[in-house]
Amino acid sequence: MNNSLTKTDFQFKGQSDVYHGKVRDVYSIGEDTLVMIATDRISAFDVVLPAGIPYKGQVLNQIAAKFLDATSDIVPNWKQASPDPMVTVGLRCEPFKIEMVIRGYITGSAWRDYKKGARSICGLPLPEGLRENQKFETPIITPTTKADEGHDENISREDIIAKGIISKEDYEQLEKYTYELFKRGTEMAAEKGLILVDTKYEFGKKDGKIYLIDEIHTPDSSRYFYSEGYQERFDKGEPQKQLSKEFVRTWLIENGFQGQEGQQVPEMTEEYCNSVSERYIELYEKIVGDKFVKANTSDLEERIERNVSEYLK
């Protein structure tokens, strides 16, 4: 049976607000605390798909918790505790309205645009003659706006500062943190036989101090290639073996869905959802390097409510 958590409706003590995102539900407790629940929802092409993926929330939450802990010497982050396998509790910060996307290789949307003739991205010039999945000489930061509705849009460093979205001083600090986090993520991935291809970071501010917020280095926010065979595949112009949720996008495209009007999401059978679950668990074990321990899902809501309430006491 597909035992997954696709919606939440908790009433925690001191709760002042709740925000339901594509994948995460965020509960505000008082002025300073957030309870972030990683649900088993899955989104692709900016659409939340109709069925949940068992253990996906646990996978994402535990990967993010690991990397937040492993990078806290670089930048302070919002995480205070993880009282449940699907929950992180932390500081409420005022988010910057920008996502810091960093790319070590040209792939995905950047490659699609390049192939169509684009020779710059977010105001950064790109050389002629690049090939798909080629490594950049140095990683590039290609920020996007954070859209409340619809698609995030690419934006240049100059526009961010000129429009006053972020001050010059803060933006330069975010760039510095982004490069350092990506370097650490790249080193940790290499130890596991992986290449961190691209990822995104979100930051916020509290009492004048910048914090890393949300999730980091998960397969929902990052793309990984396998190191072994990378060069050989690249030389032959073959697709790379990768760890990300790209396999879900591929399945949707093959079944005629890319999030456009009038298109129907293909049927997500229990068998299909379980196969995606297995892929996410494989991702976890590869990225983290530990065996994934499935939490008891017989009564997910009750378990989460109990664990969070106990922590908030």
Question: CA-CA distance, 212 to 56, in Å (whole number)?
Answer: 22
SS3 167: coil
Amino acid, single-letter form, for residue 66: K
Residue 171, SS3 per DSSP: helix
Pairing status of strand 33-38 against strand 87-91: antiparallel
Q: What is the CATH number of domain 15-93+269-312?
A: 3.30.200.20
Residue 73 CB coordination number (10 Å): 9
Helix (H, G, I), strand (E, B) or coil at 127: coil
Give pLDDT, residue 246. Answer: 80
Residue ranges of the chain assigned to CATH 3.30.470.20? 95-243
Structure tokens at 223: 């793309």
> How much is the pLDDT for 247?
85
Bridge partner list, 211: 204
Which has the closest alpha carbon to 25: 7, 49, 3? 7
Check residue 257 and give its pLDDT: 96
Question: What tens-digit pLDDT sequence spans the chain (313 residues)?
Answer: 568 999 999 999 999 999 999 999 999 999 999 999 999 999 998 899 999 999 999 999 999 999 999 999 999 999 999 999 999 999 999 999 999 999 999 998 899 999 999 999 999 999 999 999 999 999 999 999 987 666 679 999 999 999 999 999 999 999 999 999 999 999 999 999 999 999 999 999 999 999 999 999 998 899 999 999 999 999 999 999 988 888 898 899 999 999 999 999 999 999 999 999 999 999 999 999 999 999 999 999 999 999 999 999 9
The pLDDT, as a whole number, for residue 245 is 83
Scan for tokens 């505000």, then name that residue: 28
Q: How many residues are there in the chain? A: 313
Name the class of domain 95-243.
alpha beta
Tokens read off for 160: 């961010």
The H-or-E segment that residue 79 falls in is strand 79-84
Look-up: residue for tokens 């505790």? Answer: 81
Q: What is the pLDDT of residue 46?
A: 85
Three-state secondary structure call for residue 149 = coil
Q: What are the residue ranges of CATH 3.30.200.20 in the chain? A: 15-93+269-312
